C-alpha cells in the first residue's frame, strides 16, 4: 500500500500538469516564451502539487481548510503557466478561474461515483485505497475533458462582441441549473446532475467556438465586399486616366494651335488660363498610388479620392513590387483602417496633413501613417503601455476596435504595431515579417 501511495502521489501532479497545459492551450494560441520556460513553469506547478500531496496528511490544518489551501496552490500554478502567453491581467484571471471551474465540474462525477457506488462495498482496511483512487481518477477525468475542449480551435479568439451569443449561453446555463435544482437529492441524482454540468461545459465551449467562427466569416465577407469595391474603384480610376490621356492626345494639335495663337499675340494671361484648365482636367483623374500592386493601389486611391477637395496635404512614399506575400484581407484590414483613422482625425482640424510611407525592406513590410489631429487622446483603461488602445473622444468604441483588428492581422505575420504622438501629429507604424 505504501508503494502504491507513493506512485499515486507522484502520478497525480503529473496528470494535473497535463490538464493545466492542455487547458491553457485552449485559451491561448501562441506562446511568447520558449518551450523550456513553459516546461519549467509546468514543473513548478507539479512540484507544488507533489509537495502538498506528501505533506497533506501531516499538515496541522483542519480538513475544512485543506481544500482552500489546495485551491490557492492550484490558482498559483495556473497563473504561472499563463505567464508564458501574452495576455492582459483580466484575461489571465478569467482563464485561471475558468480552468478551476472546469476542473471542479470534471472531477465531481468521479467523486460522487466513488463515494456512492464504490465506498459501500469497501471494508475499513480498504479506505486508504479509496483515497488513492480519488487522487488518480479525479485529475484523469479533468484531463479527458481538457482533451475534448482542445478540439474547439476558436476559443482563444473569443470576445464579447456577439451579445446575442452570450445571452444564449447564459439562458442555457440558467435553464440547466434550474432543471437540476428540482432533481431529487440522492447519490444517483447528484451524479446525473454532475454529468449534466459537464455536458453544459461542452455546450458552452461549442457555442462560443461556433459563434467566433460565424463572426469571423461575417467579418471576412465584409472585408471581401470592401476588397471588390476597392478593385472596382481602381479600375474606374485607371479607365478614366486612360480616357483622359487619349482625349488629350486626340486634341493635342488643337491645344497646341490655340496656345500658339495666344503666343503670337503675346496674350500671356490667356496662355496661363488655358494651361490651368488643361492641368485641372488632368488632375481630375489623378491616381495617388501607381506601383502596379493592385491591392495597395486600389485601397490608397479609393481612400484618398477626396483628399484634394478636402484640402488635405498629402506626402506619399510608396515603394512596392507588383506582387507581395500578404493576404488581401489583411491589407484591407491594416491599410484600410489606418487611412480611415487618419482621415477621421484630419477632418477635425484646419491644418490637414497625411503622410504615408510604405516600403518592402529585405522581406519585411513597413507601413507608417502620420496625420495631423486635434491633440485629444483617449486611452482605453486596463491596458499595459505596449498594448494600449487609443480611441478618439468622439467615437472611441469603433476607433478602438479598428486598432484592435489591425493588431490581430499584424500578429499573423509575427509583426508589431507602434503608436506615437506629439501635440498635433499622430503616428502609427506597422512592421510585418513576410
Cα atoms in the 13 Å half-sphere on the side-chain side of 387: 10
Q: Which of 151, 180, 206 is the last residue of a domain?
A: 151
| pLDDT confidence bin for 158, thresholds 50/70/90 | low
Please list, residue by residue across 293-326, b when 16 or more beta carbons sit within 10 angstroms of its beta carbon and e when fewer do: bbbbbbbbbbbbeebeeeebeeeeebebeeeeeb
| pLDDT confidence bin for 162, thresholds 50/70/90 | very low
Q: What is the pLDDT of residue 400?
A: 47
Joined grid coordinates for residue 241: 486616366
Q: Is residue 403 part of a domain?
A: yes
- DSSP assigned state of 373: -
For 346, the domain range is: 291-434
How far is 158 from 211, CA to CA, in rounded Å? 8
Joined grid coordinates for residue 326: 500578404
Convert the pLDDT of each residue in 288-312 to its tens digit: 777 878 778 878 887 887 888 888 9
Q: What is the pLDDT of residue 251?
A: 67
User: pLDDT at residue 433 above 80?
Assistant: yes
Cα atoms in the 13 Å half-sphere on the side-chain side of 423: 0
Give how far the C-alpha of residue 58 lies from the chain's centroid of Cα atoms, to the nearest Å.
47
Pseudo-torsion of CA 42, 44, 50, 54, nearest 10°?
A: -170
How far is 290 from 21, CA to CA, in rounded Å? 50
**Under a CB-based contact definition with an 8 Å cutoff, are residues 309 and 343 in contact?**
no
Q: Which of 122, 151, 180 is the last residue of a domain?
A: 151
Greater confidence, 301 or 318? 318
Q: Classify the phi-psi angles of 239: left when phi > 0, otherwise alpha if psi is within -120 to 50, otherwise beta.
A: alpha
Q: Is residue 145 part of a domain?
A: yes
Q: What is the pLDDT of residue 160?
A: 53
Pseudo-torsion of CA 27, 33, 39, 42, nearest 10°?
A: -50
Number of domains the chain contains: 2
Task: Give 120-172 as a DSSP string.
Answer: GG--GGGHHHHHHHHHHHHHHHHHHHHHHHTT-TTGGG--S--HHHHHHHHHH
Q: What is the pLDDT of residue 28?
A: 86
Most confident of 85-94, 256-265, 364-373: 364-373
CA 429, 431, 432, 434 dihedral sign is positive
Q: What is the pLDDT of residue 382?
A: 45
Most confident of 156-160, 167-171, 323-327, 341-345: 341-345
Q: Is residue 20 part of a domain?
A: yes
Q: Is residue 388 part of a domain?
A: yes
Pseudo-torsion of CA 202, 159, 41, 55, nearest 10°?
A: -50
Which residues, 6 or more positions from 41, have their beta carbon under 8 angstroms from its beta carbon? 80, 81, 83, 84
Average pLDDT on 390-416 reads: 66
pTM comes to 0.56
Greater confidence, 346 or 403? 346
How far is 316 from 202, CA to CA, in rounded Å? 52
| pLDDT confidence bin for 398, thresholds 50/70/90 | very low
Q: Is residue 277 part of a domain?
A: no
How far is 182 from 175, CA to CA, in rounded Å? 11
Q: Is residue 34 part of a domain?
A: yes
User: pLDDT at residue 279 above 60?
Assistant: yes
Q: What is the pLDDT of residue 386?
A: 40
Q: Which of 131, 151, 171 is the last residue of a domain?
A: 151
Compute CA distances 193 → 78, 106, 138, 204, whole Å.
27, 12, 17, 16
Q: What is the pLDDT of residue 272?
A: 78
Which residues, 6 or more positions from 153, have their beta carbon under 8 angstroms from its beta carbon? 209
Indicate the average pLDDT of the chain: 76
Q: What is the pLDDT of residue 395?
A: 46
| pLDDT confidence bin for 227, thresholds 50/70/90 | low
Which residues, 6 or more positions from 167, have their beta carbon under 8 angstroms from its beta carbon? none
Lowest mean pLDDT of 328-332, 367-371, 388-392, 396-400, name the range.
396-400
Q: Is residue 82 part of a domain?
A: yes
How far is 406 from 336, CA to CA, in rounded Å? 9
| pLDDT confidence bin for 165, thresholds 50/70/90 | very low
Q: What is the pLDDT of residue 177?
A: 53
Convert the pLDDT of each residue in 31-59 to its tens digit: 888 888 988 998 898 888 888 877 877 77
Rg (CA), the chain: 32
Percent of the chain with pLDDT over 90: 11
Q: Which residue, chain included where needed, has cell 479533468?
A: 142
Q: Is residue 90 part of a domain?
A: yes
Q: Which residue, chain included where needed, has cell 431529487?
A: 184
- DSSP assigned state of 378: E
Q: What is the pLDDT of residue 163?
A: 42
- Domain of 421, CATH number, reads 3.30.565.10
Phi/psi of residue 367, each to 5°? -125, 125
Amino acid at each position: 500500500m505504501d508503494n502504491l501511495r507513493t506512485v499515486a502521489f507522484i502520478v497525480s501532479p503529473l496528470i494535473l500538469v497535463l490538464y493545466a497545459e492542455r487547458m491553457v492551450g485552449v485559451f491561448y494560441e501562441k506562446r511568447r516564451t520558449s518551450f523550456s520556460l513553459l516546461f519549467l513553469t509546468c514543473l513548478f506547478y507539479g512540484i507544488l502539487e507533489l509537495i502538498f500531496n506528501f505533506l497533506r496528511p501531516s499538515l496541522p490544518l483542519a480538513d475544512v481548510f485543506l481544500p482552500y489551501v489546495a485551491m490557492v496552490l492550484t490558482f498559483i500554478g495556473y497563473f504561472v503557466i499563463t505567464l508564458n502567453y501574452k495576455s492582459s491581467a483580466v484575461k489571465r484571471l478569467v482563464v485561471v478561474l475558468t480552468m478551476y471551474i472546469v476542473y471542479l465540474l470534471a472531477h465531481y462525477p468521479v467523486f460522487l461515483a466513488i463515494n456512492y457506488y464504490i465506498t459501500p462495498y469497501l471494508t475499513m482496511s480498504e479506505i486508504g485505497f479509496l483515497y488513492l483512487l480519488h487522487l488518480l481518477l479525479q485529475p484523469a477525468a479533468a484531463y479527458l475533458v481538457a482533451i475534448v475542449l482542445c478540439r474547439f480551435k476558436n476559443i482563444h479568439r473569443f470576445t464579447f462582441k456577439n451579445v446575442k451569443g452570450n445571452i444564449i449561453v447564459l439562458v442555457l446555463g440558467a435553464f440547466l441549473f434550474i432543471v437540476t435544482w428540482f432533481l431529487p437529492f440522492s447519490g444517483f441524482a447528484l451524479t446525473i446532475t454532475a454529468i449534466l454540468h459537464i455536458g453544459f461545459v461542452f455546450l458552452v465551449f461549442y457555442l462560443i467556438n461556433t459563434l467566433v467562427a460565424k463572426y469571423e466569416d461575417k467579418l471576412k465577407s465584409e472585408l471581401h465586399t470592401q476588397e471588390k469595391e476597392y478593385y472596382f474603384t481602381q479600375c474606374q480610376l485607371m479607365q478614366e486616366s486612360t480616357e483622359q490621356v487619349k482625349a488629350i492626345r486626340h486634341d493635342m494639335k488643337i491645344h497646341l494651335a490655340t496656345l500658339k495663337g495666344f503666343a503670337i499675340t503675346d496674350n500671356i494671361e490667356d496662355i496661363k488660363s488655358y494651361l490651368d484648365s488643361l492641368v485641372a482636367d488632368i488632375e481630375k483623374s489623378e491616381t495617388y498610388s501607381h506601383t502596379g500592386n493592385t491591392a495597395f493601389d486600389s485601397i490608397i486611391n479609393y481612400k484618398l479620392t477626396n483628399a484634394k477637395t478636402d484640402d488635405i496635404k498629402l506626402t506619399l512614399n510608396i515603394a512596392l513590387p507588383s506582387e507581395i506575400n500578404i493576404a488581401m484581407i489583411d491589407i484591407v484590414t491594416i491599410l484600410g483602417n489606418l487611412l480611415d483613422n487618419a482621415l477621421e482625425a484630419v477632418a477635425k482640424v484646419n491644418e490637414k496633413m497625411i503622410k504615408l510611407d510604405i516600403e518592402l525592406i529585405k522581406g519585411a513590410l513597413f507601413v507608417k501613417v502620420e496625420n495631423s489631429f486635434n491633440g485629444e487622446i483617449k486611452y482605453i483603461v486596463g491596458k499595459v503601455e505596449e498594448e494600449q488602445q487609443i480611441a478618439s473622444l468622439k467615437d472611441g468604441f469603433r476607433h478602438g476596435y479598428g486598432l484592435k483588428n489591425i493588431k490581430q492581422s499584424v500578429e499573423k505575420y509575427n509583426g508589431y504595431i507602434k503608436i506615437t504622438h506629439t501635440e498635433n501629429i499622430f503616428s502609427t507604424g506597422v512592421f510585418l515579417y513576410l
